[in-house]
Structures are given as structure tokens and as C-alpha cells.
A and B are shown apart, each in its own frame.
Chain A
Amino acid sequence: MDFIGPLLLAVATLLILLVSGNNAQACIGNLVGARVVRTRTALLIEIAGVSLGLLFQGTSMTTAAGHLASSLSSQTVLIVLTITLTLFVVAHFARLPLSLTHILPALLAGVALAFTSYFFLMILSWMAAPVAALVATPLITRLIGRSGTSDFWAKVEVYKVLLILVSFLFAFTLGANTIGLIVAVEGFGGLAVPLAIVGVVVGTFFLSAGEIRRVSADMFELGYSNALSSMLTSAILVEASTLAGIPMANTMVQNTAVFGAGLSYKTRLFSAKSFFLVALSWIAFPAAGVAAGVLIALV
């Protein structure tokens, strides 16, 4: 009897559940932190966005899966997903900023020894996206600040509506890109998508609370326009990557965008050290993932 299929489904669903819980803060932390909507409403926006993203655009990630994992057997994919799951759990408890969208493609490329032009394009995109976010966010912030009415209550209303829309869009890109990548690696057929949506619902509702509280308290004390510009930049960059079939870490893009939003202030006082430590993890973890993958392939 073949246990690999059901096991793959189980591990992938578990991974989706954890990733959904962990990444909800990136999409709706602004909404909750800025108290635009209640937490429960924000969670529903998150679930709707991620699920629709997976349903309508998740298949874009089959390109990535094709380039990185097509030569691998189901058994190897299962091993890689299990290692990713284990690393993800360990990183969560060790409070390390591990991104699934970094570690999973890196491990797959390492195991498959798939150092193709696609792999290098992916690495290049991972380097370019934070730079783009850093440059674009202050510009978008300025544009948003200049546009529109002089009535600031009307501005606040517009900001709040746009924040809801952009949060939904960002959740959509998370579903299409990150969740889409996991489903694409295990295969889009059968129960994969329905179980992924179950994972999204359960993970978002039951595992996101702590992260959202922490992030909305620590990071999202932004004005509405800064919150909006950082979310918008992130959503555009991740969506562009999805359309190009390249996995992109939502949290990496967003962290840089928030940092960029901080740069748009005339007077600024922030700890660059903690940002650069997180940025270092964006290089260290993928590199370690590739190395670990190669090691597994050699063994």
C-alpha cells in the first residue's frame, strides 16, 4: 500500500497550517495594529484573501515546482517537506525569522542539484525585491501624502478602506505564492487544495493570535499612509513574483517595506541593528538550505 501520497498531503497541510498562522501577521497586522477592523474581521479577510489567491493563482507556482522539484521522487519531496516542517517548528520556538519561501525552494534546489538559470533568477529576485521595496515605499508614501483632499478625516476614511483592500490583496498574494508553492510541490490534484484551505482556516484562526499581537504591538505603530504604502509595495512585489512563477517571501518584502516607510519620516530613530539581523537571516537560511539540500542529495 502506498503511504507516500497521504503522508505528503498530511505534511503539506500541517506546513500550510503553520505558515498560515505565522504569516497572518504580515497581511493583517496593520489592520489589527492600527485598529481599522476587529481581529475576527481581519482574520476573515486573511482567510478569504489566502484561499482565493490559492484557488485563482496558486497554479502559477507549478513553474517553480517544475524547475526545482520535477526530478525528485515523491519520497524525496516528502523528506524535504518534513525537514522544512521540522525547521519551521524549531525556528518558531527559537524565535528565528525563518521564511518558508526561502528554505523550501533552497532545500529543493539543493536536493535536486537544480542550479539552473531559474535558480539564479530566483536568487536574483530575492536580492532585488528588498531593494525595490526599500526604494519604492518612501516614494509611494510621499505620493499618497500629496494626493487627495485637504480634509484629513476624509483622508483617514480613504486610508482605512484602502488598508482593508491592500491587506486582502496581500493575503491573496500569500495564498498564490507561498501556499501555492507548497501545494505545487506536493501536486495540485486530488484533495491538495481543499486540505490546504482547511489548513489556512485552522492555522489563521488558531495559530495567528500571538504573532498578530506581537507584530501589531512591535512593528505596526505606523501612521495610516505609511502602513498603506508598505503593504501596497509588498503586495505589488509579491504579485509580480507570482506572475513570474518565482517564490517570494511576503515577510521579507514587507519587513523591508516597513523599514522603507520608516525612512520616509523627516525625523527618524530606529534600531537598524535588528533589521540587519533579520536581513542577514534572508541570506543565511537560504544558503544553509541549499547546503543542507546538497548534503542530502550526496548522502
Chain B
Amino acid sequence: MRIRFLVAGEEGIFKRLQALADMARNETPLAIRLFQERLADRSVLEGMKALEKQSDELTFKLSEDIMNGAINPAVLRDLLHVSDLMDTVFDDYYFLAREVNRTVASEIRLPMLDKMTKTFIAQVNLADKQLESLGKLLEANTMDEVNHQRREIEKLEESGDELKDSAFDDLYENHRLFDYFSFQHYIEVLRKLDDIQDGAEDMSDLILAIANTLSR
């Protein structure tokens, strides 16, 4: 029989982080629409803004509960860091929405748009898979499962790095096609999508460390 009240602390926090990881996956269809349609009607921007606001509230409450709950101090800082990284995923997507909207509003000419869009969407899909694995990792209750999901996330991050680097190569090879704003825009989007993937990997590393500390 499980004695629920005793583990309300760490396990409860893991479940709430898992819910946040699931919520972060709601960004995926919005981000794909954002890059495919480059919307001027701000609908995607508003959707991402709402998610970002919701995440702010949830992670603020989560951090407060981590500080005041039945959490072992040995893992407290790492849990706070995971909560912070999770919030950053939502912030980054919202930043991307604003960035794309800015280029649409400013009517900036974007060379190689189809090719770059494919890369961005591939990066978004990889981040989505990472968030899916992160949810499974947060749901896991054995170290084998934690290690397996962490490796998956790491592989996805490496695939994302490949995509990003090859996109950078393309941009530099074709540098004559770009003005400052178009070049800056692509760099910004590539980096931000890479940040999201790095964040997911960092979270998986921290969760592994937390699980190790708790089960040791």
C-alpha cells in the first residue's frame, strides 16, 4: 500500500511539471502555423501569449510550493531550476511569435523562406518530441526508464543541433541574399528554437540528478 501523504512533496511536484510539459506541447501546432502561414492577424500571437501567461502563473505557484512544501533541500534548488526552465520554454515560443509578427508587420523581405520554414518546423517537431519524452520522464518511477527517456531527449537535441548548424551553413553560404534584418531574423529564430531544445535537455539532466538523489 502506498502512503500518499508522505510523498506529496517531490512526486506531487513531478506531476505538476509533467502537466506543464504537456501544456508546452500546445505550443507546437501554434508554432507550426506561425512559421507556415506567417499570420498578420495576431491569432497565433494571442494564443502563445495566453499560454505564456498561464505558464507564468503556474510556475510561480509551483516555485512557491517547492519552497514551502515537503521537499528535500538536497533537490530543492534543482526543482526550482526545472520550474524556471519550463517557464522559459513558453517565454521562448512567445518571443518567436513576436519576432515573426514583427517581420510580417514590417514587411521584411525574407529570402530562402521555404527552406528556412522547413528547418524551423522540423526544429519545432523535435522540440515537441522532446517535451513528450520529458513528460514520460517525469512520469517514470524507475531509474532505467528515467535514463532511457533522458537518452531519447539527448538524441533529439543532437538532431536539432545538426539542423541548426546546417541552416547556419546555408545562411552563410548565401549571405549575399540577405539584408541585416532578414539575416538577423533567421539567426534569432534558429537560436531561440535551439534554446527550447537545450532547455528540454537541461531539464532532463536535472530530473535525472533529482531522481538519483532521491533514490540514493
Contact = CB atoms under 8 A, between A and B. Distances in A.
Contact of A151 (B6, B10, B72, B142): B142
B144 interface: yes
* Dominant secondary structure at the B interface: helix
B10 A223 contact: no
Contact of A223 (B2, B3, B213): B213
Contacts of B142: 150-152
Interface string A26-47: 0000000111110000000000
B216 interface: yes
Interface string B24-64: 00000000000000000000000000000000000000000
Contact of A152 (B6, B70, B211): B211
A60 B211 CA distance: 43
Given A35-B71, A153-B11, A161-B3, A224 B143 contact: no
A162 to B, nearest CB: 11
A298 to B, nearest CB: 50
- What secondary structure prevails in chain A residues at the interface with B? helix
Interface in A157-181: 157, 160-161
Contacts of A222: 74
B214 A160 contact: no
14 contacts: A34-B72, A35-B70, A35-B71, A37-B70, A150-B143, A153-B7, A156-B10, A157-B2, A157-B3, A161-B6, A216-B73, A220-B73, A222-B74, A223-B216
A-B pairs, top 10 by smallest CB distance, nearest first, are: A152-B215, A160-B6, A35-B70, A151-B141, A150-B142, A223-B216, A221-B73, A34-B72, A153-B141, A223-B213
Interface of A: 33-37, 145, 150-157, 160-161, 216-217, 220-226
Given A35-B71, A152-B143, A154-B2, 4 more contacts: A34-B72, A154-B141, A157-B7, A223-B74
